[in-house]
Amino acid sequence: MAGLSDMARSLQAKGREAGIPGSDPDPESRRDTDGEGPRRFAIWEIAEWMLPVSAEYLRRTLREVPTLPRGDAEGRGALRFTAGELSSIRAHFAATGSAERYLPPPRERAVVVAMAAPLGAAGRSRAAAELAVAAALDGWRVIAIDGSGRGDLARRIEAGPAQEGGRERGRNGGMRDLFAAAAGRALRARNAALAERGERPAPMPADLAAAAESGRDLARPSRWPGLSVIAGGAELAAADLALAEWDRAVPGWSAVRALEEALAPLRQEADLILIDPPRGLGLLATSVLAGADLLLAPVGRDPGEAGLGLAVLDAALERIEAGERDLAAALGRPLPGPRRPEVRLLPLEETPPGLTGALPPLPAPPPAPLDRGGTRTWFDVDPRETGRAAQIGPRSALARLWRAVARDLAATGGGVVGAAGPAEG
């Protein structure tokens, strides 16, 4: 009778032969192929959501400054720009005008936002990807962390290759390795204290010793400037078991409260860390949801399901806090105060695919009558009147949603010195 590992390899091989993406255990091979080439943005999109300038002023600046990107003419002559070209345009405006107007305010450390849907929610990973891209296009330095064993978030954002400069990046256990490194640092610190007292140090588990010391070794760039990804993978399926082992092996280290230490190497590298945790309330998911600065609770077509998930999460956090209070009382320590993150609802019906998908062609505007008879079709490069309904609806909702999240980030603190407000028209 075939063993479990043999059966797994056989099924994966059959899936790859059939072209089924989920059959490959490596999330890098499961790339989103909905759109060909980099996503490009029209001038009106840039002026509407990304830069606080009018479309007319942006066009004039592009004409008058020869060092700025020229863009590519697509369709009927409308210029479109890649995200990299958008970064160059933003840098020009920041250098020649008020930097505060075009760049996000400085932050002492990244604010941590997590998607809160313990019971699952259709479209959660998609919404996380859209928000991560929207934040990057708004000038934020973003690290998106995928807690899914299938790598859904990384696939939607289209993370780059793991090989960079001849070394591996973004492989291994992803988020699991962040916690392994944190547990390893805690155990080394404890062993150093034991050695100073002449006591025997505790053994270092092999997986803690091998964990990457820097989160930068786990993240890899995406096709969106300013957005890096720590991909999920099959190793995350056993992450809860690993965290439980480390919790027992490292005295004084709590897996449930380890998110702050796990993200410490990354919080100086970004303005926003957006996490899509695993489904359920295992150790890994609970640590993320208990330690984030802001939770976004996706609400789909069934609000009751979202409410039930939040109720389950609230009960889990209450049990954790009760246990911490009991432990503090037994040890004669001051009782810890409440440590609940802020929670905001995230209506998924308002976040249809937009930024991460291919931009559809503009529909032809209706013919306009001429004074001397006949008609003529005017193909304006700024489709604010014609074709607007076909594109601006989904993306304007997404822009409003991201700006609302940015305001919430400013309100939660979490190391945020300021927050980018809505772009001025």
Residue 20 in domain: no
Residue 184 in domain: yes
Considering the domain architecture, whether residues 51 and 193 belong to the same structural domain is answered as no
**pTM of the predicted model as reported, rounded to 2 decimal places:** 0.73
Considering the domain architecture, whether residues 224 and 129 belong to the same structural domain is answered as yes
Residue 408 in domain: no
Residue 423 in domain: no
pLDDT of 13: 63
Q: In the block, which residue shows the tokens 């945790």?
A: 277
Considering the domain architecture, whether residues 277 and 266 belong to the same structural domain is answered as yes
Distance CA 220, CA 163 (A): 9
Query: pLDDT, tens digit, for every residue of 350-408?
Result: 444 455 554 444 444 455 565 666 555 444 444 444 343 333 344 556 666 777 777 66
Query: pLDDT, tens digit, for every residue of 228-269?
Result: 999 887 778 888 888 898 888 888 888 888 888 889 888 888
Considering the domain architecture, whether residues 49 and 88 belong to the same structural domain is answered as yes
Considering the domain architecture, whether residues 70 and 174 belong to the same structural domain is answered as no
Considering the domain architecture, whether residues 324 and 184 belong to the same structural domain is answered as yes
Residue 28 in domain: no
Considering the domain architecture, whether residues 206 and 263 belong to the same structural domain is answered as yes
For the cut 90, the answer to whether the pLDDT of residue 274 exceeds it is: yes
Q: Beta strand pairing status for 111-115 and 272-276?
A: parallel
Query: pLDDT, tens digit, for every residue of 72-83?
Result: 876 556 788 888
- Select from 308, 324, 350 the last residue of a domain: 350
Determine the 3-state secondary structure of 307 from DSSP: helix
In the chain, the number of structural domains is 2
Considering the domain architecture, whether residues 299 and 227 belong to the same structural domain is answered as yes
Q: What CATH number did the domain enclosing 76 receive?
A: 1.10.1660
pLDDT of 139: 83
Query: pLDDT, tens digit, for every residue of 298-324?
Result: 887 777 777 888 888 888 888 888 877
Considering the domain architecture, whether residues 69 and 131 belong to the same structural domain is answered as no
pLDDT of 75: 55
Residue 268 in domain: yes
Considering the domain architecture, whether residues 76 and 209 belong to the same structural domain is answered as no
- Select from 52, 77, 102 the last residue of a domain: 102
Considering the domain architecture, whether residues 84 and 96 belong to the same structural domain is answered as yes
Task: Give, rounded to a whole angstrom, the gap between the first and last alpha carbons of the chain.
Answer: 68
Cα torsion 257, 262, 265, 270: sign: negative
- Select from 329, 350, 371 the last residue of a domain: 350
In SS3 terms, 85-152 reads as HHHHHHHHHHHHCCHHHHCCCCCCCCEEEEECCCCCCCCHHHHHHHHHHHHHHCCCCEEEEECCCCCH
Q: What CATH number did the domain enclosing 185 receive?
A: 3.40.50.300
Closest CA to 273 of 286, 260, 283, 284: 260
Q: In the block, which residue shows the tokens 């899936």?
A: 15
Considering the domain architecture, whether residues 218 and 312 belong to the same structural domain is answered as yes
**Do residues 133 and 401 touch, judged by C-beta distance below 8 A?**
no
Dihedral in degrees, nearest 10, Cα atoms 163, 131, 225, 152: 20
Query: pLDDT, tens digit, for every residue of 191-203?
Result: 898 888 888 888 8
Cα distances (angstroms) measured from residue 195 to each of 200, 202, 205, 251: 7, 10, 18, 15
Residue 411 in domain: no
pLDDT of 15: 59
Residue 422 in domain: no
Kindly report the average pLDDT of the chain as a whole number: 73
Mean pLDDT of 16-31: 46
Range of the domain at 165: 105-350
The pair of structure tokens assigned to 377 is 């079709």
**Do residues 181 and 262 touch, judged by C-beta distance below 8 A?**
yes
Cα distances (angstroms) measured from residue 269 to each of 107, 278, 355, 380, 402: 10, 24, 24, 41, 21
